[in-house]
Chain A
Amino acid sequence: MHSHKFLPTRRELLRLSAAGVLGVSASGWLDRLAAHAAEQAPSSGARHKKCILIWLDGGSSHHDTFDMKPDAPDTIRGEFRPVQTSVPGLLISEPLSRLAPFMNRAAVIRSMSTGEGEHSRARIFMHTGYRAGVGGLRYPTMGSIVSNEREISPTGMPNFVVTGMHLNPANHSYVSSPGYLGPRHQPLIVADQDRGVENLRSSLSAADHGARLSLLDDLAEGFLRTHPSDAATAQRTAYQRATQLMRSAGARAFDLTTEPAAIRDRYGNHAFGKGCLLARRLVETGVPFVEVYHAPTPGGWDSHTTERANEVKNIAMPQLNQGLPSLLHDLDVRGLLDETLVICMGEFGRTPNVKPGGGRDHYPRAWTTVLFGGGVGRGQIIGRTDSRGSTVEDRPVSGIDFMATICTILGIDPNKNNHAGPRPVRVVDRGANPIRELLG
C-alpha cells in the first residue's frame, strides 16, 4: 500500500516546482503536467505483451469444445460433431468451427487439473492463482497483477479494463479485485459497452470547460503549495489522468459507434461481440489487459440441465463463434496477435458423462484451456486426457502451473514478491511449474 508506484508525483512535483512549472498560472497546470508526462513516456512499455482474457463464466465442457471424444459412447461424446482445423489432427467442436482457421495460432492445454469444483472458489483460483480464504488475504486478479507490473500510461488510458454484461461486484468481485495490490490496480469497468466510459465528455463547450479547468488549476495550486501531501498530489494526478483521457485520442476506443457497422456486425450485436471489439480497440491503443466476460444468460456456460445445455448451444456457443474469431482475425491482420495473448477459459470443465436428463456437471479434474497468439500459439496440444476425458494422462497442469505460465508469457516473474502491507507475497504461489514447452 505504501509504494506509490504510479505516484512519483511528490518528487515529480518538487522537480516541476524547481523547474518553474508550478506557480505559473493562467494556462493550466493540468496541461503542463500532462505534457510533461507524455515527454517522459517510458518506451520500455511497448515491448510488453498484452493480454485479453475471454472468460467463459460457469465453466465450458471440454468434450463439447476443444477436447472432443468422437469415438466415445454417446453418453460421453455428447451431441456435437468434430471439425478439422488448420492443425492436422486437432479437432474442435462444430459450433465453434469459425475458430478452425486460427488453431495453428493456438496452444490447447488439455490437461488442466485444478481441484476447485465450486464456482466461486474456482473463479477466484483461476483468476488469482490462490485458493480462496488462504492466508487471510485477498489476492489480485490477473489483470491487476499485470497492471501492477506496467507503467501507468501517459496517454491517460487505464491498464486494466473489464467488460461484459452481468458484472455484479457483490457476487463477482473476483473479476475485478486488485486484492492486496490496492484500489489503484482496480480495472476500469465498462459494464455496458453502449454506454462506454460515462462522463467522458463535459456537457459544457470545450472552451468553457477549458476555462474552468484553468480556474481549478489556479485554486488547486494554492492548496498544493501550502499542503504538499500524498493525498493532494494523488488527487491532482487523478484529475490529470482523467483530463488526459477526455482529450486522449485513445479514449475514442471506448466509443464503438466509431467502428464501421459492417465490422460491428461481424463481431455480433451482443455484449460479448461488443466486448471483443472493445478489447481489440483497447489493445490497439496500448491497454495491457482486458477481460471480456461471457455470460449471455444467467446460467452462462453452466450447463447442468437440458435447458441450460440448450442455452449454451443456442446462445453462448454461437456468440463465442462470432466474437472470438473476429477478434483473432483483426489482431492477426493488424500484426498484433503475436504480441497479444488471448486466453479462452472458464473456471473448470464439465463431467465426462452427459446426465440422463441432459447437461453436464462441474469437473475440475481434467479440462481444457486455450491460448491464442502471444508469441506462443503454434498449434500445440499440451497434455492429454484419457479416452473418456475424465483423467489427465499426460503433463498435468495445476492452477498455479497455469498462472505461472501466463505470467511468464507476459514477461512477469512468477517468483517475484509483491507486498501485502509488511508481508511479502509471491506473484504465484510456491511450487509452480510453468509449461516449458510453451515458453521456448
Chain B
Amino acid sequence: MLRSFRCSLLTLAFCVVAGAAYAQDVVAVRAKRIDGEIAKRLQEKKIPASPLADDAEFLRRVTLDLTGQIPSYERTTTFLADRDPKRRAKLIDELLESPEFGKHFAVILSQLLLGTEIAAPQREIFKGWLAAEINKGQTWDKLVHAMITAEGEAKTNPAAVFVLAQTDDNKLMPNLMAASTTRYFLGVQLQCAECHNHPFTNWKQTEFWGMAAFFAKVKVATPKKGQSDGPVGLTESFAATDPKKKGPAAVKSASITIPATAGKSVGKVVKAKFLEAGEPVLDVERPFRPALANWVTSPENKYFARAAVNRLWFVLFGRGIVNPVDDMHADNEPTHPELLQALADDFKASSFNLKHFVRCVCNSEAYQRTSRPVKGNEDDRDGFSHMAVKVMGPEVLYDALTRALGVKELNVTTGKIATTGKGGAAKTSAGNNRDKFIKFFKTQDADSLPTDFTHGIPQVLNLMNDPQFNKGGPVVDRIIAAKLPRDEAVERLYLTVLSRRPNSDESKRLSRYLDGEPDPARGYASVLWALINSPEFILNH
C-alpha cells in the first residue's frame, strides 16, 4: 500500500519533469519559428535587426509586460548578477507563475471587454475571476465560452459581467453584445455594419444583425436596485411563450428586428446567423448563446485563434501582425501572414493555452531585442527589427510609482470630482487612493495603441508638482540612514527607479548637480524626481 503510493508519486514526479522538459523544447522550437519568420521579412526588406537587449532592459520590459510592475531593487540586483545562461527563460517562467500575471492580464482584458459603462463592483468581481482563471491556466476557449453563455449575477457567476457590460444607458443591448463578441473574440470590426453595409468588405448589415440575433433573448434577470447601477443579472432561460414570464416581446423565432437607431433597413427581421457561415437551427424555447459560443470557440473557427494571438502579440509588441488589431478582413493584410498562421495553429494545438503562447513569444529574440534602433532600422515600424516603446497604463504607473518611492500607497488628493445622482445630494466620489489615481491618469481609450502616450497637462502637472513626488520619500530616507557614498546612492536610485545602473555621462551630470546641493537628502530627492519624471521611467521600452 505504502510502496505503491510512493511509486505512483515517483511516476507522477517523473511525468511532471518530462512534461516540463518537453515543454521547454516546444518553447524553443516555437520561439525559433517566430524569429525565422521575422528574419525572413527583414531580409527581404534589407532592414537590419537591433541586437538583443541587455539584461537590465530585458528584466524591466518582461516584468512590466507580464506582471504590470517594475522589478524590485532586490530582484534587479540578483538578476543582474545572475550568470546562468538560462536566466531569461527562468525569469519568464517565474513571472508567468506569479499571481501578478493573471492580475495584469485581467486588467488589460477587462478594459477591453467591459468598456466604460459597467459599475465598479461588477468590474472588480470580473477582474478577480479572470485573474484567478488565467493563473490556474484556464484556456482561452473556455473563458470565452463562459463569457458568451453566462447567466445570472456577477456575484454568483462573474463571467456574466461581460454581457452585463454591454449596455447603453443601463439597458442591455444585443447590438453591443454582437459588436464586442466579434471585435474582441474574432478580431473583426463588424459594428459599422450595424447601420449600413461594411464599406470595405462583403459584410452586409444583415450579417451584423444575424450575430446580434443570438443575443435577442437576453434580458435582465434581477431588477436593478440603484438608479444608475445598471442591470445586475441576466438570463435567457425562460420560455418565450410563457405568458407569465415576459421576455422581449418580439422573440418568436431566433431572430432580431433592426431597430430605429440603426439607420438603413429599419424594421427588417434578421435570423440568427454565424458570420460568413450558416444559420443554425435554434429552439426558440432554449438559450441561443451556447450555439454561438460553440461556433466562436471552435478550433475550426477561422477567426478565433488568429484574433487572440494577434491581440496578445499587440500587447507585447505594441502593434499587431494585423493592424488595427481587431480589424481583420480580406483586404487588411497581415505584415507576417505565415507567422500569424503559425502562431494561430500553435495556439490551437496547445488548446488555446495563454501562458504557453506568452512563454513562447517572450523567449523569442524578436521580443528580447533592444528598443534602440540601429542604423538602417530607425524608420521600421512593422518589421519588429527593434522593440517598440510602449506606455504604462494607469494601474501599472501607480504600482511603479509606489515601488520607486518605496511607499505602500500614494496620497491622492487631486482629481477629486463631485458627483451627484438625480434626486441625491452632491457627494465627493468615494474610492481609495489607487482608484482615484487610476481615474485621474486614465487617458487611454479602447482604440488607443500601447505606444500612444496620452497624458495631458493635468497628469504631467501632477507628476511634476505634487509634493509627494518632489520631496524624496522612503527610498531617499534609507539612503541617508545607510550613509551611502554618493556613487552608491545614485546607483541605488537608478536601480530602484529605472532598473539599471547609470552610465558615465549620467554619473557625471548628477555629480555636477549634487555638488551644487549642500543638503544630500534634497539632492537625492531631486534625482529621484528627475528619474520618475523622465520618459525612461514612464515608458516601457
**Measuring CB to CB, which residues of chain A are less than 8 angstroms from any residue of chain B?**
1, 25, 118, 120-121, 131-138, 156, 158, 165-171, 173, 180, 182-184, 186, 188-189, 191-192, 197-204, 208, 211-212, 215-216, 218-220, 222-224, 226-232, 234-236, 238-239, 241-243, 245-246, 295, 298-299, 302, 420-423
Contact = CB atoms under 8 A, between A and B. Distances in A.
Given A134-B195, A234-B454, A422-B324, 8 more contacts: A166-B419, A197-B461, A200-B461, A212-B470, A212-B526, A220-B536, A227-B389, A302-B422
Nearest to A204: B470
A13 to B, nearest CB: 12
Contacts of A224: 535
7 smallest A-B Cβ distances: which pairs? A136-B191, A234-B453, A229-B389, A242-B460, A199-B465, A168-B419, A199-B461
A198 B324 contact: no
Contacts of A184: 454, 456
B426 A423 contact: no
B392 to A, nearest CB: 10
Contacts of B529: 212, 216
A208 B525 CA distance: 12
B169 A118 contact: yes
Interface in B439-497: 439, 443-445, 447-449, 451-462, 464-467, 470-471
B349 interface: no
Contacts of A199: 414, 458, 461-462, 464-466
A223 B391 CA distance: 14
Nearest to A232: B535
A198 B535 contact: no
B327 A421 contact: yes
Contacts, number: 227
Q: Decide if the interface of chain B is mainly helix, strand, loop or mixed.
A: loop
B93 interface: no
B456 A238 contact: yes
15 contacts: A1-B448, A156-B457, A166-B418, A168-B418, A171-B419, A184-B454, A199-B414, A203-B471, A208-B526, A211-B526, A215-B526, A226-B372, A227-B372, A298-B426, A423-B192
B509 interface: yes
B458 A188 contact: yes
B414 to A, nearest CB: 5
Interface string B99-132: 0000000000000000010000000000000000
A242 B464 contact: yes
A302 B462 CA distance: 36
B530 A215 contact: yes
A180 B189 CA distance: 14
Contacts of B515: none
B444 A211 contact: no
A383 B505 CA distance: 71
B394 to A, nearest CB: 12
Contacts of B452: 1, 182, 230-231, 234
B419 A170 contact: yes
B423 interface: yes
Contacts of B533: 216, 239
Contact of A191 (B418, B454, B455, B462): B418
B185 to A, nearest CB: 15
B42 interface: no
A219 B457 contact: no
Given A203-B465, A238-B453, A121 B169 contact: yes
A134 B261 contact: yes
B461 A133 contact: no
Contact of B417 (A167, A188, A231): A167
Contacts of A420: 447
Contacts of A186: 443, 456
A224 to B, nearest CB: 7
A224 B421 CA distance: 46
A235 B535 contact: yes
A107 B527 CA distance: 58
B358 interface: no
A166 B503 CA distance: 50
Interface centre among B420, B509, B533, B535 (most CB of A within 10 A): B535
A224 B534 CA distance: 10
Nearest to B503: A222
B173 interface: yes
Contacts of A131: 261
A156 B199 CA distance: 40
B194 interface: yes
B524 to A, nearest CB: 12
A267 to B, nearest CB: 20
A136 B194 contact: yes
Contact of B458 (A121, A197, A220, A302): A197
Interface centre among B261, B420, B509, B516 (most CB of A within 10 A): B420
B541 interface: yes
Nearest to B527: A215
Given A184-B456, A236-B535, A132 B168 contact: yes
Given A136-B194, A199-B464, A219-B531, A165 B418 contact: yes
A231 B461 contact: no
Contacts of B534: 216, 219-220, 223
Contacts of A203: 465, 467, 470-471
A231 B426 contact: no
Contacts of A231: 389-391, 451-453, 535, 539
